[in-house]
Amino acid sequence: MSAVSAIPVAVTHKPRPRLDGEGSLQVPLDPNLKIGNAKVFAVYGKGGIGKSTTSSNLSVAFSKLGKRVLQIGCDPKHDSTFTLTKRLVPTVIDILETVDFHGEELRPEDFVYPGYNGVMCVEAGGPPAGTGCGGYVVGQTVKLLKEHHLLEDTDVVIFDVLGDVVCGGFAAPLQHADRALIVAANDFDSIFAMNRIVAAIASKSKNYNVRLGGVIANRSRETDQIDKYNQAIGLETLARFPDLDVIRRSRLKKATLFEMEPSPELEAVQNEYLRLAGNLWMGTKPQLTSPLKDRDIFELLGFE
Amino acid sequence: MQLTLWTYEGPPHVGAMRIATAMEQVHYVLHAPQGDTYADLLFTMIERRSKRPPVTYTTFQARDLGGDTATLFKTAVHEAYERFQPTAMLVGASCTAELIQDDPGGLAHALELPIPVVALELPSYQKKENWGAAETFYQLVRALAGPSAPASGSAPRERIAGTQPRCNLLGPTALGFRHRDDVQEISGLLKQMGIDINVIAPLGATPADLSRLGDADFNVVLYPEIANPAAGWLQRTFGQPSIKTVPIGIGATREFISQIAQLCGIDPAPFLANTEARSPWYSRSVDSTYLTNKRVFIFGDATHAIAAARIATEELGFSVVGLGSYSRELARELREAAKRYGVEALITDDYLEVEASVDKLQPDLVLGTQMERHIAKRLGIPCAVISAPVHVQDYPARYSPQMGFEGANVIFDTWVHPLMMGLEEHLLGMFREDFEFHPEAAASHLGQSNTAAAQRKPEALKAASVTEAAAMTDSEILVREVATTTETDAHKIADASAQSSAKASAAWAGEAEKELTKIPFFVRGKARRNTERYAREKGVTTITVEVLYDAKAHFSR
């Protein structure tokens, strides 16, 4: 229709929200952006701890339980869904650039790739290093998924979040998630990182639905350090994955654990993933904890 | 988004209104300020519907913003339900109300009405009317047909042996470009083919009809801009395939028939040769030779623009010099089409960009929306309207579809007439100095023209031309030209009448007279006069066939 359309004064005069932080640009998320009825998990942890491996295997485990799963990689490295799709898929930001950010020109198949066992895979991608905002990228991705109705026919959404940056990009998935899961190994550095993540989730949970789900102990035969920390703040370990060579090899083979040659130890790991997925689907109780002070964590775990 | 005076599409809530208005027993409660009620007029004045759209506006005012607009909205929903007793409801916010973030969906949910209430989230500042219509239709279909969806993983339903194939017709809305007549045309075609129509939606459908969508064997997507998301969901949920060929034009209609016949296992041959289809012969007839290679510029919604490009090249022999659309959702298809015709696709919602493109290309014919009609008018180029945005003249009282064989007939007439008018103007221009056609001549069909012209004195004519010049103020140069032309004409006419009264013309030989009749009527007079003048100048007394052709050669030099 041809109509005279006036821009409401309220739009043009809407004050820009003050930018927060120093040095990094934070783009506030659209407060109306809600994910539908799917259960949403966000996986966090120190860089290199195995978040992508854990997320991908967990996605497959959910799909083995008959759930429709969407995994969203939120790392500029964009290899979160690598073992599912067997390749580096283009990121949402790459695709949006090809249409000059006119998202309405896109089709779901442009940015959603079917992976192993029907897991739908999306790589949000990231802004150029040192500039832009990861939160913007996550926000655009969720908006696009929603506009193409991909979240309405999904049971589980897993955000695999970049590990080493604590900023808007780090926080964005927390706005959408029901449970945040932390992947940690039995060493000081990853527990120290976990403590910071606990702090971030605690502060986000004041305004959003997100609650801490628990710890996934990865690459660790022993878990004494994690247990010590958990006890100190009242946190639970949801699953334990030992440091198995088959897990490392699966990554090199571009495969999830569910596609590897069967062996008893592998079967145990697969069952652990299925158990974890089952528990998460049934619903874990929210863990309301407060983080340790930096000094306290040094005292608790020593300086080794 | 940019500040503009005219847009091809309205905001997305107007799209939602098009769905609500098309349907029966649906009511739409729109959280909107007073001014937004203007949208009613689109339906009552432009489309000339006999009733107001089923929309309740909360019509909050500036002073309400200090109070409780959420309660205002809840009251409006409640009252609308009580008064109109719909069997399904839509709730949402217009562009202005979106900013006050009252969450219409949540508020309506809290009222616990005993009917399905579909909350619409239409991002007004990023999306437009067609997207809003498609999203609304999708949400309604999903909400109403969803409960009867088979469990995921179960086999798609099979047609019961011995029954006729059934389909849904998806996409026609209120305020659509010829949707009413297209539905009639395609329904008739399907009926001829022995195919039952399960549901036509949204136009004329009730919420109960939407809940039966799953009973069909397949879907016919008449308007992809509106029905694509809903058809996709029906395909995923009920396993219903979609026919996506839009039957606009002879070729596309035949393709449409063949695809349906193949899907249903019937022989398409009896339906392909349609005796009512006159456009193929008309466009091949001698009278239409002037259509060949006419340069056309096409712009509209993607579906109509792509169809128009195909008809123009394959069915009328035009050459496409420009192809574009404001439908970003189907930009990909349009780009592919543009590549086929060797032109660059113009994807824009800025009419000034379209105008610049038309101006640069200077086509012989513009096929576009009402916006392009204005552009073409400004640039003095013939134009025919092929797509929304619509105007009151796009809702003719007569039957006038775009789809099917009759649609192709309508399109032939609609596109060719502006070109014929153009031809007439061209002839008028060519003979403007001729005594029969000059501006002062009385209409020839009144039989008075010759006497009227002859009785006038040159002085009177001169005076008339001066008055005329005074009246035309917009272009000095043009005025002067007109004035001089008229002046010389006057002298010529004076000369001619003087000579004819003195009798000086050469005689025509019988065969030359006969040869003269071979010349088209509208140039015959001129040929006769020119030949006589030539004969006079050369001192020839009898005009033979040779003299006639010498004269022709002389004047064409």
**In this structure, what token pair is assigned to residue B309?**
């490009």
**In this structure, what token pair is assigned to residue B176?**
């659509």
Residue type, B222: L
Task: Give the mean pLDDT of B520-538.
Answer: 83
**How far is it, in rounded angstroms, from Cα B140 to Cα B211?**
9
Q: In which order are the strands placed within the sheet that holds B88-93?
A: B55-57, B26-31, B88-93, B117-119
How close does chain B come to A6, measured CA to CA in Å?
8
DSSP 8-state code for residue A221: S
The CB-based long-range contact list for B453-458 (8 Å cut-off, 24+ gap) reads B453/B493, B454/B493, B454/B497, B458/B490, B458/B491, B458/B493, B458/B494
Instruction: Indicate yes or no: CB of A14 within 8 angstroms of CB of B125.
Output: no
The CB-based long-range contact list for B327-330 (8 Å cut-off, 24+ gap) reads B327/B130, B327/B225, B327/B301, B327/B302, B327/B303, B328/A102, B328/A104, B328/A105, B329/A104, B329/A105, B329/B130, B329/B131, B329/B134, B329/B225, B329/B228, B329/B302, B330/B224, B330/B225, B330/B301, B330/B302, B330/B303
Predicted confidence band of residue A11 (pLDDT cuts 50, 70, 90): very low
Based on its alpha-carbon atoms, the radius of gyration of chain A, rounded to whole angstroms, reads 20
Predicted confidence band of residue B484 (pLDDT cuts 50, 70, 90): very low
**How far is it, in rounded angstroms, from Cα B179 to Cα B381?**
27
Q: Which of A6-15, A139-148, A272-281 has the lowest mean pLDDT?
A: A6-15
Q: Mean pLDDT for chain B?
A: 85
Higher pLDDT pick, B306 / B490: B306
C-alpha distances in Å from residue A126, one per residue of A70, A129, B27, B63: 19, 8, 43, 44
Task: Give the mean pLDDT of A62-80.
Answer: 90
pLDDT at B14 over 60: yes
Q: In this structure, are strands B166-170 and B218-221 parallel, antiparallel, or unpaired?
A: parallel
pLDDT at B487 over 50: no
Find the residue in B nearest to A30 (Cα). Answer: B123
**How far is it, in rounded angstroms, from Cα A3 to Cα B474?**
30
**How far is it, in rounded angstroms, from Cα B124 to Cα B138?**
17
Residue partners of A235: CB distance under 8 A and separation at least 6:
A198, A212, A214, A215, A229, A287, A289
For the structural domain made of A37-300, what CATH number should be given? Answer: 3.40.50.300
pLDDT at B457 over 50: no
3-state secondary structure of B313: helix
**In this structure, what token pair is assigned to residue B296?**
């056309």
Q: How do the domains of chain A map onto residue ranges?
A: 37-300
- Would you call B287 a catalytic residue per the annotation? yes
pLDDT score at B2: 62
pLDDT score at B499: 47
What's the full length of chain B, in residues? 557
Predicted confidence band of residue B135 (pLDDT cuts 50, 70, 90): very high
Instruction: Indicate yes or no: CB of B328 within 8 angstroms of CB of A8.
Output: no
pLDDT score at B105: 83
Residue type, A8: P
Task: Give the mean pLDDT of A40-44.
Answer: 92
The string of DSSP letters for B202-232 reads STT--HHHHTTGGGSSEEEES-HHHHHHHHH
Name the residue facing A32 among B121, B389, B391 (closest C-beta): B121
The sign of the dihedral angle between the CA atoms of A83, A86, A87, A91 is: negative
Q: Which of B34, B121, B175, B374 has the highest number of chain A CBs within 10 A, making it the mutation to test binding with A?
A: B121
Higher pLDDT pick, B443 / B184: B184
pLDDT at B369 over 80: yes
Task: Give the mean pLDDT of B303-332.
Answer: 95
3-state secondary structure of B331: helix
Q: Mean pLDDT for chain A?
A: 82
CA A164 centroid distance within chain: 13
How close does chain A come to B331, measured CA to CA in Å?
6
pLDDT at B314 over 90: yes
Instruction: Indicate yes or no: CB of B7 within 8 angstroms of CB of A8.
Output: no
Predicted confidence band of residue B470 (pLDDT cuts 50, 70, 90): very low
- Would you call A46 a catalytic residue per the annotation? yes
Angle between helices B331-340 and B302-310 (to 10 degrees): 20
How close does chain A come to B533, measured CA to CA in Å?
56
A83 DSSP β-pair partners:
none
**How far is it, in rounded angstroms, from Cα B475 to Cα B241?**
61
Find the residue in A nearest to B62 (Cα). Answer: A10
Residues of chain B in contact with residue A105, where contact means CB-CB under 8 angstroms, are 328-329, 331-332
Segment B150-209, tens digit of pLDDT: 876 566 666 676 789 999 999 999 999 999 999 999 999 999 999 999 999 999 999 999
Residues A83 and A259 sit within 8 Å (Cβ to Cβ): no
C-alpha distances in Å from residue B276, one per residue of A122, B178, B272, B314, B410: 52, 20, 11, 19, 12
Q: In this structure, are strands B55-57 and B26-31 parallel, antiparallel, or unpaired?
A: parallel
- Would you call A39 a catalytic residue per the annotation? no
Q: Which of A151-160, A168-177, B112-121 has the lowest mean pLDDT?
A: A168-177
How close does chain A come to B390, measured CA to CA in Å?
6
Burial class (CB in 10 A: 0-12, 13-18, 19+), A276: buried
Upper half-sphere CA count for residue B94 (Cβ side, 13 Å):
27
ipTM above 0.90, yes or no: no
Segment B47-77, tens digit of pLDDT: 999 989 999 999 887 777 777 788 889 899 9
**In this structure, what token pair is assigned to residue B550?**
């010498």
pTM flag (> 0.90)? no
Residues B413 and B285 sit within 8 Å (Cβ to Cβ): no
Q: How many CB atoms neighbour CB A191 within 10 A?
A: 23
The sign of the dihedral angle between the CA atoms of B104, B107, B111, B112 is: positive
Enclosing H/E stretch for A159: strand A156-161
pLDDT at B460 over 60: no
pLDDT at B535 over 70: yes
Which of B55-64, B70-79, B137-146, B443-452 ranks highest by mean pLDDT? Answer: B137-146
DSSP 8-state code for residue A27: P
CA B303 centroid distance within chain: 12
3-state secondary structure of B377: helix
3-state secondary structure of B485: helix
Q: Which of A33-37, A193-197, B132-136, B385-389 has the lowest mean pLDDT?
A: A33-37
